[in-house]
Amino acid sequence: MSKSLARVMAAMQAAGVTGAPLEMPGETRTAGQAAAAAGCALDQIVKSIIFGGQRGLYLFLTAGGNQVDAAKASALAGEGLGRADANQVRAVTGFAIGGVSPLGHLTPLPLWMDPRLLTYPTLWAAAGTPRHIFAISPAQLQQITGAIVADFAA
């Protein structure tokens, strides 16, 4: 088992999330791939989008079909933001792009959650690898991550 997957599983257990990550037969790097693998709507996929600014990195949990509006994200963060590069993401979160989980980061990040995610009873999120995903309710995801619900979608 990869260290990334083990870290997500430990975070899930510590937070009382029932169930376990599922290994998919194919990659789940994109929201479309993850939705097909989970057999769910595209917007039930939690995309973990990371932006960077002068003060650090910021995490935006968005519905699979939505895009993060950089201007709205910058306003929430209180500074100009751009997409974080893969090396920054791995160094701060411990995850490679395509497997960034909303849980189990090496370093806690300020984070916001797309209100679109609250419209589904079950969400699916990356579990630290490009082939593992886990199910969670939106309320539990918000509670355990401390995400602030905000409009940042384009």
Q: Where are the domains of the chain?
A: 3-149
pLDDT value of position 71:
97
pLDDT over 90 (residue 98):
no
Helix (H) or strand (E) holding 46: strand 45-53
pTM of the model as a whole: 0.94
Question: 129 - beta bridge partners?
Answer: none
pLDDT value of position 38:
93
pLDDT, mean of residues 118-145: 95
Neighbour tally for 108: CB within 10 Å: 11
Question: 153 - beta bridge partners?
Answer: 68
pLDDT over 80 (residue 63):
yes
Place of tokens 């910021």: 58
Q: Any idea which fold 3-149 has?
A: YbaK protein (3.90.960)
Which of 95-99, 100-104, 112-116, 126-130 is predicted least confidently?
Answer: 95-99
**Rounded-to-integer distance, Cα 135 and Cα 38, Å:** 9
Average pLDDT over the chain, rounded to whole? 94
pLDDT value of position 1:
77
pLDDT, mean of residues 27-54: 95
pLDDT value of position 39:
94
Residue 85 per-residue DSSP state: P
Task: pLDDT band for 97, please (50, 70, 90 cuts).
Answer: confident
Question: 50 - beta bridge partners?
Answer: 59
pLDDT over 80 (residue 42):
yes
**Rounded-to-integer distance, Cα 39 and Cα 33, Å:** 10
Which residues lie closer than 8 Å to 36 by C-beta, 6 or more apart?
A: none
pLDDT value of position 111:
96
Cβ atoms of 67 and 83 within 8 Å: the answer is no
